[in-house]
Chain A
Amino acid sequence: DSGVTQTPKHLITATGQRVTLRCSPRSGDLSVYWYQQSLDQGLQFLIHYYNGEERAKGNILERFSAQQFPDLHSELNLSSLELGDSALYFCASSQPPNYNEQFFGPGTRLTVL
Chain B
Amino acid sequence: SQQGEEDPQALSIQEGENATMNCSYKTSINNLQWYRQNSGRGLVHLILIRSNEREKHSGRLRVTLDTSKKSSSLLITASRAADTASYFCATDRADKLIFGTGTRLQVFP
A-side residues, CB < 8 A to B, are: 2, 4, 31, 33, 35, 42-45, 48, 50, 55-56, 58-59, 88, 90, 92, 98-107, 109
Q: How far is the CB of A76 from the nearest CB of chain B, in Å? A: 15
Which A residues lie within 8 Å of B99 (CB)? 42-44
Contact B96 A48 (CB under 8 A): yes
Interface residues on B, range: 20 to 34
**Known A2-B42, A109-B40; contact A100-B33, beta-carbon cutoff 8 A:** yes
The contact string, 1 if C-beta is below 8 Å from chain A, for chain B 12-39, is 0000000000000000001101010000
**Known A42-B2, A42-B99; contact A100-B92, beta-carbon cutoff 8 A:** yes
Which B residues lie within 8 Å of A92 (CB)? 43, 97
Q: Once bound together, how far apart are the Cα atoms of A55 and B102, in whole Å?
A: 27
Contact B97 A42 (CB under 8 A): no
**Known A42-B2, A42-B102; contact A104-B45, beta-carbon cutoff 8 A:** yes
Q: Number of contacts between A and B (CB, 8 Å)?
A: 61
**Known A42-B102, A109-B40; contact A101-B45, beta-carbon cutoff 8 A:** yes
**Known A100-B31, A100-B92; contact A106-B97, beta-carbon cutoff 8 A:** no
Q: Which of B2, B45, B102 is in CB contact (< 8 Å) with A102? A: B45
Contact A42 B40 (CB under 8 A): no
B11 within 8 A of A: no
Contact B44 A104 (CB under 8 A): yes
List the A residue with the shortest CB-CB distance to B29: A100
With most chain A CB atoms within 10 A of its CB, the pick from B31, B42, B44, B48 is B42
With most chain B CB atoms within 10 A of its CB, the pick from A31, A101, A106 is A101
Contact A42 B42 (CB under 8 A): no
Contact B45 A106 (CB under 8 A): no
Q: Once bound together, how far apart are the Cα atoms of A36 and B44, in whole Å?
A: 16
Which B residues lie within 8 Å of A90 (CB)? 42-43
Which B residues lie within 8 Å of A101 (CB)? 31, 33, 45, 48
